[in-house]
Structure 1
Amino acid sequence: MSKSDFGLIGLAVMGQNLVLNVESRGFTVSVYNRTTSTMEKFIADNPGKKLVGCETLEEFVQSLERPRKVMIMVQAGGPVDKVIESLLPYLEEGDIVIDGGNSLWTDTERRDAWLSEKGLRFIGAGVSGGEEGALKGPSIMPGGPTSTWEVMKPIFESISAKVDGVPCVTHIGEGGAGHFVKMVHNGIEYGDMQLICEAYNIFKAAGFSNEELADIFAEWNEGDLESFLIEITANIFKQKDPETGKDIVDLIVDKAGQKGTGRWTVMGSVEQAVPFSTIAGSVEARIISSMRDQRKAASQIFEGPNNWSFELKGLSKEDLVKKVRNALYASKIVSYAQGLDLIAKVGKDKGWSLDLGAIARIWRGGCIIRARFLNRITEAYEENPNLVNLMLAPFFTEILNKGQQDWREVVSIAALNGIPVPSFGGSLSYYDAYRAERLPANLLQAQRDFFGAHTYERIDKPEGEFFHTEDWPDLIK
Structure 2
Amino acid sequence: MEKFSIGMIGLGTMGSNLMLNMADHNHSVIGYDKDPLKVKTLKAIPNYTNIDATVDISEFVSKIQKPAKIILLVPSGPIVDFVIKDLVPFLQKGDIIIDGGNSFYKDTDRRFNELKEIGIHFMGMGVSGGEEGARTGPSIMPSGDPEAYDQVKAILNDVAAKYKDLPCSRYMGNASAGHYVKMVHNGIEYGMMQLIAETYDLLKNGLGLGNDEISDIFTKWNKGKLSGFLIESAAYVLLQMDQTNGGHLIDFIKDVARSKGTGKWTSQDAMDLQVPVPTIDMAVIARDLSAYSNSRDKISSYNKKASIKDHDLEIKDVESALLSAFALTYIQGLHLIRVASRAYNYNTEMKDVVNNWREGCIIRSGLLENFEQVYMTDGFDGMILSDEEIYKLVAKHMPMLKKVVLFALQNDFGSSAFASSATYFNMMSTKLSPMNLIQGLRDLFGAHTFERTDQEGTFHHIWK
TM-score when normalising by structure 1: 0.95
SS of alignment partner, residue 52 of structure 1: strand
RMSD of the TM alignment (CA)? 1.3
Kept in 1: contact 2:264–2:284 (CA 8 A): yes
- Establish whether residue 377 from structure 1 lines up as the match of residue 375 from structure 2: no
2: CA distance, partners of 1:323 / 1:49: 55
Show CA shifts across 1:312-335 (max 9, x none): 42x2xxx52111111111111111
SS of alignment partner, residue 135 of structure 2: helix
Q: What are the within-5 Å matches in structure 2 for residues 151-190 of structure 1?
A: 151-190=151-190
Gap regions ≥5 residues in structure 1: 473-477
2: CA distance, partners of 1:127 / 1:444: 43
2: CA distance, partners of 1:412 / 1:202: 12
Q: AA paired with 1:446?
A: G
SS of alignment partner, residue 124 of structure 2: strand
Show CA shifts across 1:334-369 (max 9, x none): 111111111011101222221111110110111101
Kept in 1: contact 2:127–2:138 (CA 8 A): yes
- Counterpart residue number, 1:475: none
2: CA distance, partners of 1:277 / 1:48: 48
- Counterpart residue number, 1:333: 327
* Compared CA separation, residues 175 and 59, structure 1 to 2 (3 A): same
Show CA shifts across 1:384-418 (max 9, x none): 55342222323322222221111111101000111
- Which of 433, 438, 446 is equivalent to 1:452? 446
Show CA shifts across 1:223-272 (max 9, x none): 11100111111122221112322011111111112110000000000100
Deviation at 1:47, TM superposition (A): 5.2
2: CA distance, partners of 1:191 / 1:285: 10
Kept in 2: contact 1:387–1:393 (CA 8 A): no
Q: AA paired with 1:259?
A: K
- List, as ranges, runs of 4+ consecutive aligned residues in structure 1 with deviation greater than 6 Å: none
- Establish whether residue 125 from structure 1 lines up as the match of residue 125 from structure 2: yes
Q: AA paired with 2:352?
A: A
Q: What are the within-5 Å matches in structure 2 for residues 7-26 of structure 1?
A: 7-26=7-26
2: CA distance, partners of 1:274 / 1:46: 51
2: CA distance, partners of 1:94 / 1:263: 35
Q: AA paired with 1:468?
A: H
- Which of 448, 461, 464 is equivalent to 1:469? 461
Show CA shifts across 1:136-178 (max 9, x none): 1100000101111111011000000011101010111010001
Q: Percent of counterpart pairs with the same letter?
A: 37
Kept in 1: contact 2:105–2:176 (CA 8 A): yes
- Which of 359, 384, 400 is equivalent to 1:390? 384
- Which of 318, 339, 356 is equivalent to 1:324? 318
- Counterpart residue number, 1:406: 400
- Counterpart residue number, 1:355: 349
2: CA distance, partners of 1:39 / 1:361: 35
Kept in 2: contact 1:310–1:417 (CA 8 A): yes
Kept in 2: contact 1:333–1:391 (CA 8 A): no
SS of alignment partner, residue 225 of structure 1: coil
Kept in 1: contact 2:171–2:352 (CA 8 A): no
Show CA shifts across 1:25-60 (max 9, x none): 111111110112221122123454321222211000
SS of alignment partner, residue 155 of structure 1: helix
Show CA shifts across 1:69-117 (max 9, x none): 1111111111000100111110011111010000001111111111111
Which moved further from structure 2: 151-160 or 30-39? 30-39
Q: How many aligned residue pairs are there?
A: 463
Q: What are the within-5 Å matches in structure 2 for residues 16-95 of structure 1?
A: 16-46=16-46, 48-95=48-95
- Counterpart residue number, 2:98: 98
SS of alignment partner, residue 237 of structure 1: helix
1: CA distance, partners of 2:260 / 2:159: 25
Kept in 2: contact 1:278–1:427 (CA 8 A): yes
2: CA distance, partners of 1:220 / 1:395: 22
Deviation at 1:216, TM superposition (A): 0.8
TM-score when normalising by structure 2: 0.97
2: CA distance, partners of 1:64 / 1:172: 26
2: CA distance, partners of 1:100 / 1:312: 52
Q: AA paired with 1:296?
A: D
- Counterpart residue number, 1:311: 309
- Establish whether residue 276 from structure 1 lines up as the match of residue 253 from structure 2: no
Q: What are the within-5 Å matches in structure 2 for residues 253-292 of structure 1?
A: 253-292=254-293
2: CA distance, partners of 1:134 / 1:179: 17
SS of alignment partner, residue 459 of structure 2: coil
- Counterpart residue number, 2:215: 214
Which moved further from structure 2: 235-244 or 366-375? 235-244
Q: AA paired with 2:43?
A: I
- Counterpart residue number, 2:112: 112
